[in-house]
Structure 1
Amino acid sequence: MFKRFLSLEWKQFSRSSYFQKGIAIKILLILAALYFGGCFLVLGTSAFFILEDTFPKEDPVTIVNNYLIFWFLIDIAYRYFMQQLPVMNIKPYMIIPIKRKTVIHFLLGKTTVSFFNFLPLFFFLPFTIVLLVQGYNPLNVVAWFFSMLFFTLSINYLNFLLNKNDKIFYTILTLLVAGVAVEFYDIYPLAEKAGIFFNTIYQKPYAILIPLLLMVLLYRRTYSFIRKGFYLDAEISKKTETVKTSELNWLNRFGRIAPFLKNDVRLILRNKRPKQVLFMSFLFLFYGLIFYTNDSYNSMPAFLAFASMFVTGGFLMSFGQLVPSWDSEYYKLLMSQNIPYREYLESKWSLMVVAVLVSFVLSTPYIYFGWDIFGMIAAGALFNVGLNSFITLYGGVLNRVPMELNVKAKAFSNTQGFNPTQLLIALPKIFGPMLIFYLPYKLINFEAGLIFLALSGLAGIVFKNFFLNKIEKIYQKNKYKTIAAFDEKA
């Protein structure tokens, strides 16, 4: 039966209207998997020797065990945002003599072979081999390896339950942040205390029963959770909810584009994926910490310009690149109204500009790293407003992939609305500010690079009407192609 399920899954994928898009995405995902798998493989192979040289008086295994608590908490966090749970069209199976448990076990089996479960193996497996080569007790090492595998699979099944309860996830995320803080500031030796548990599992091989039992219990709990809602009535019934309307009168000050802005604000407030994209945009504010706290980047100011653009451009890059896919479900209705296309585009531009300005205000703590850094963030904000916003809107012409906002899917691994051509459109948004800054910096000085980057953004603001008119004509020319594409369903 599992073989038949796999055959049907392949037919559904290969016969869909988005087969070529799906192939392109699969290729990109495979390349990303190879990259991250290679990174983890190198880390797993060299971790023992790095720890041995850095902490010669401590056992590398003990150090790894001490910090496994953070490893697994991070694993839970990024799975919540990135791991797309497997789905099936279960309606046809509900009316034919196929046991429910068979379908459910197949679904759980699909998620068991997820890349998110294999990625930790690229670290734990080479690390285990190094331990065996270095003469560690084979029984302890092998038992420890399988314990890590069982913990990883436990988190995989736990992800099913966390996806239905955001409060539990954010509690775990808070614990992760608090744990890192108390460890970093030496408030409490959390890593050492948590390491006692994992070191015990390593020292006593029979303790492998703990993660094994945890994995079995979570599998059974997840199975029961899915089976509880696996009924035809539950699948086809419509849940009636009380809808709260919001007038958003404060947006009326924006004049003729106010109705479009209200639609966008309501879209963000009422749908899961836009909410998570908004949250991801907030995380972009901390992107600069990766570069500004690392002295090695001080000699590579072009990368600092790259980081500065991302600090204020999170919403523009994540939300803006999916214009007009956000409106795909009612795009035909929208285009049938007696409204200028220019107002629709200007509302999107205004929303992105407001987001950049809010991000810039929230980035003021970066003054701590010096006025040069903050000046670069300000120049990056001007570039985002003046040029990146228009490049993003232009990219929407090539984005004709519909998006179903009512589908409960991951915000960051959901490929609805994704078009491989977006990667090409992203190139000038990423490398443009680096090039504009670097050439004057190299030929003159640092301040000249900032001035040129800021002036490029100001030039875009000055020629706003020119850019919007050009983009409007392109959208108008491709309007019916976009409508036809949005009528298709993946």
Structure 2
Amino acid sequence: MLFELIRLEFLKSFRSTSFAKSVMVAIFLGFLALMLLSYLFMAGLFLNRILAELVEGQGTTVTLNSGLIFFFLVEFMYRYFLQKLPVIELESLLHLPISKKRIINILLGRSFFSALSVVALILFTPFAFTEIAVQYGVAGAISWLGAVVFISWTLHWFMLWFKQRFEDSLIGVVIVFAVLVLGGGSTYLGWFNLGELVAPFFTFAMSSFIPMAVGSITCVVGYYLAFSYYLNNAYLEDLASEEEVRFVNQSVGFFSRFGMAGELANLEWKLIIRHKKSRTFLMLSAIFLLYGTFFYDNPAYQEGPMRHMFIFVGVFITGVFMIQYGQLFLSWNSGYFDFFLGRKDGIENLIKGKYLLLLSISFLCFMLSIPYLYFGWKFLLIHFATFLFNAGIMIHMIIYLALWKPKPMDLNKGAMFNYEGVGAAQFLMIIPMMIAPYVIYLPFALLFNMYAGLAAMGTLGVVGILFFKPLSNININRVLKHRYEISSSFRQEL
């Protein structure tokens, strides 16, 4: 049966109209995966030297045992965004006369064979047999490496259950942020050192097989957790009904005050949280709100020319969703763009609705950035000035560039390593986004001081907000002028 399912999967791929493109994408991604894994292997070979340079005067083994928990936190995050679920394959096989347990076992086993499953093995194997084996013998190296690898594999099975159970709910978002804040933020802000709490477990693994046994047991429990959940919920009617009710009552009442444009903004918001790729962009935007913690208390950026880096950070924090989501402005609607072509003022209301959505979330990002007041009042002023600049000037620049030959996009695919909808404009967009704020800020900051530069940015942003209608009409008229060309490009096969 296993070989029969593999044969059917091969026939499905071979008969696809986009077979050639899929092969090219697979070759490119395979080459990229091999390149990244080779970099990881090289990092593993020099891991001892890297740790010795980073932490002088401390043993590299002790340092690594204290830092392993942060490796697993990073693994938790990249698995959340990169790891794929076998749901589509599950739906296509449930109607066949095959044992459900066998289907789920095959799909779960298939999901395990990916580059993510060998990251820990490739990265830490050289260190285990070049450093730990010298002090604790080969048995100690195997025991330590086994504990690390089994915990990594446990995260694989846990993430299959977690994403299927909580990815589309507020609880999942809260858990991801809790892991990020409590795991990394606690040590960064000095609340408590999570690495020191778990280091004894890995230290014990060097002299005993008990931690390795514990890791193997948790790996089996993780597999059973994922297997049981998929088995108990693997019904086509349940999957369909869940999809229907999961996003009920997700409207934003504030948008209804803006007429048809507000209704379309509300619809856009529902589509964002409904589809995987747009929802990933939203999650990344929320995570990037923590971007300032890497700069605002770093002494290297407090004095000299580097202090002007705070302007870019402020623009990015208050406009992160505008930048990420706005760069694919119309590609999000490529599947049903013709619907708006056939409606009176449909294109105009669509563009206005997108403006409303981007400005609303940008304002929300500014409000969520207020806690940066902890680092000083000037950072709140930076965020306020950059928010005004984003709302009055930057949003029009982003949309204008995004309207240059937009491309179709499949919303149901993931965001990672997915370049659908991305063209030359998306790569060139970073240049004006980085230069424009400094063109206004630097002359006043260098002639007077930082606050004069912020005042100039904020003033120009207010002027842009006051003249919002004529500025937005430039992009609206551009879409109307090229609407048939855009519609034709969206009909291209992905």
Question: Normalised by the shorter chain, which TM-score bucket?
Answer: 0.7 to 0.9
- Measured against aligned partners, the alpha-carbon deviations of 1:102-157 in whole angstroms (never above 9, x if no partner) come to 76555434433433334334532343244158655232123211321222112112
Matched-pair contact (CA < 8 Å) for 1:302–1:438: no
Separation (CA, whole Å) in 1 of partners of 2:190 and 2:352? 50
**Structure 1 335/422 Cα, relative in aligned 2: closer, same or farther at 3 Å?**
same
* 2:475 aligned residue: 471
Residue 300 of structure 2 is aligned to residue 296 of structure 1 = yes
Separation (CA, whole Å) in 2 of partners of 1:292 and 1:185? 13
Separation (CA, whole Å) in 2 of partners of 1:350 and 1:240? 26
* 2:398 aligned residue: 392
SS in 2 for 1:287: helix
Moved more, 204-213 or 233-242: 233-242
Separation (CA, whole Å) in 2 of partners of 1:21 and 1:450? 48
Separation (CA, whole Å) in 2 of partners of 1:204 and 1:19? 47
Letter in 2 for 1:468: S
Deviation at 1:232, TM superposition (A): 7.0
2:200 to 196, 212, 228: 196
Moved more, 29-38 or 155-164: 29-38
What is the root-mean-square deviation of aligned Cα atoms in Å?
A: 4.3
Residue 361 of structure 2 is aligned to residue 355 of structure 1 = yes
Moved more, 276-285 or 167-176: 167-176
Letter in 1 for 2:116: F
Q: TM-score, normalised by structure 1?
A: 0.79
Matched-pair contact (CA < 8 Å) for 2:51–2:63: no
Separation (CA, whole Å) in 2 of partners of 1:39 and 1:465? 55
Deviation at 1:160, TM superposition (A): 0.6
* 1:413 aligned residue: 416
**Structure 1 362/185 Cα, relative in aligned 2: closer, same or farther at 3 Å?**
closer
**Structure 1 102/202 Cα, relative in aligned 2: closer, same or farther at 3 Å?**
same
* 2:149 aligned residue: 149
Residue 487 of structure 2 is aligned to residue 480 of structure 1 = no
- Measured against aligned partners, the alpha-carbon deviations of 1:20-71 in whole angstroms (never above 9, x if no partner) come to 994798499659947974895587343442466243xxx4323432343343
Residue 341 of structure 2 is aligned to residue 338 of structure 1 = no
Letter in 2 for 1:141: A
SS in 2 for 1:196: helix
Separation (CA, whole Å) in 1 of partners of 2:421 and 2:12? 21
Residue 408 of structure 2 is aligned to residue 401 of structure 1 = yes
Moved more, 447-456 or 305-314: 447-456
Residues 372-383 of structure 1 aligned to structure 2 (within 5 Å): 372-383=378-389
Matched-pair contact (CA < 8 Å) for 1:150–1:211: yes
* 2:111 aligned residue: 111
Moved more, 299-308 or 253-262: 253-262
* 1:310 aligned residue: 316
Moved more, 452-461 or 353-362: 452-461
Deviation at 1:312, TM superposition (A): 0.2
Separation (CA, whole Å) in 2 of partners of 1:309 and 1:6? 46
Separation (CA, whole Å) in 2 of partners of 1:124 and 1:265? 43
* 1:286 aligned residue: 290
Separation (CA, whole Å) in 2 of partners of 1:308 and 1:390? 18
Separation (CA, whole Å) in 1 of partners of 2:175 and 2:251? 33
SS in 1 for 2:344: coil
* 1:68 aligned residue: 68
Q: TM-score, normalised by structure 2?
A: 0.78
Letter in 2 for 1:131: E
Letter in 2 for 1:471: N
SS in 1 for 2:206: helix
Residue 159 of structure 2 is aligned to residue 159 of structure 1 = yes
Deviation at 1:373, TM superposition (A): 3.6
Residues 115-130 of structure 1 aligned to structure 2 (within 5 Å): 115-121=115-121, 123-130=123-130
Letter in 1 for 2:418: T
Separation (CA, whole Å) in 1 of partners of 2:360 and 2:429? 21
2:328 to 322, 326, 329: 322
- Measured against aligned partners, the alpha-carbon deviations of 1:365-415 in whole angstroms (never above 9, x if no partner) come to 3344345444433332233223321233230453332344xx5x65x4383
- Which structure has more RCO (C-alpha within 8 Å, separation ≥ 6)? 1
Separation (CA, whole Å) in 2 of partners of 1:94 and 1:13? 21
Separation (CA, whole Å) in 1 of partners of 2:39 and 2:458? 35
2:429 to 421, 426, 431: 426
Structure 2 stretches lacking a partner, 5+ long: none
Matched-pair contact (CA < 8 Å) for 2:385–2:457: yes
Matched-pair contact (CA < 8 Å) for 1:397–1:478: no
Deviation at 1:314, TM superposition (A): 1.8
Letter in 1 for 2:371: P
Separation (CA, whole Å) in 2 of partners of 1:13 and 1:231? 26
* 1:82 aligned residue: 82
- Measured against aligned partners, the alpha-carbon deviations of 1:310-338 in whole angstroms (never above 9, x if no partner) come to 11012212332332233344432222111
Moved more, 380-389 or 120-129: 120-129
Moved more, 169-178 or 26-35: 26-35
Structure 1 stretches lacking a partner, 5+ long: none
Deviation at 1:209, TM superposition (A): 2.5
- Measured against aligned partners, the alpha-carbon deviations of 1:285-307 in whole angstroms (never above 9, x if no partner) come to 32111111212223423432221
**Structure 1 31/451 Cα, relative in aligned 2: closer, same or farther at 3 Å?**
farther
Deviation at 1:4, TM superposition (A): 3.8
Separation (CA, whole Å) in 1 of partners of 2:189 and 2:438? 39
Matched-pair contact (CA < 8 Å) for 1:433–1:453: no
**Structure 1 382/146 Cα, relative in aligned 2: closer, same or farther at 3 Å?**
same
SS in 2 for 1:53: coil
**Structure 1 364/157 Cα, relative in aligned 2: closer, same or farther at 3 Å?**
closer
Deviation at 1:309, TM superposition (A): 0.8
- Measured against aligned partners, the alpha-carbon deviations of 1:248-304 in whole angstroms (never above 9, x if no partner) come to 664354356333233234445666665554443333332111111212223423432
Matched-pair contact (CA < 8 Å) for 2:269–2:357: no
SS in 1 for 2:429: helix
Separation (CA, whole Å) in 1 of partners of 2:246 and 2:264? 24
Moved more, 246-255 or 301-310: 246-255
Q: Percent identity?
A: 23
* 1:257 aligned residue: 261
SS in 1 for 2:56: helix
